[in-house]
Amino acid sequence: MSSVDEVEIRNLKWWRDHHRESAKWLAIRIHQVLVEGNKNIVPILLASLPVYMEEYARPGPDYFGNLEVETDETSTKATE
């Protein structure tokens, strides 16, 4: 059985707290936009989104460049 030293434990706790605070910040900002209607922070969220996606979602390299979706069989592709 391997043991974890005090430095490793502090490091793990730091990262846990970092991710917890990041998630809290994002949830608060989303709430401000969607529930409170504060549109002033939308540019901040948009600027932060690629970093959050890279850190937590790890999408493929073409994710942000491929926003075309087919809405149904008879419609044309719509770009958001």
Phi and psi at residue 74, in whole multiples of 5°?
-95, -10
Domain ranges of the chain: 6-79
Residue 5 C-alpha from the chain's centroid = 32
pTM: 0.60
Distance between CA 6 and CA 61 in Å, rounded?
Answer: 37
Q: What would the pLDDT profile of 42-75 be if each residue is shown by its tens digit?
A: 999 999 988 888 888 876 666 656 545 444 444 3
Using CA atoms, how far apart are residues 16 and 19, in angstroms rounded to an integer?
A: 5
Residue 43's SS3 state is helix
Q: Going by C-beta distance under 8 Å and a sequence separation of 6 or more, which residues neighbour residue 76?
A: none
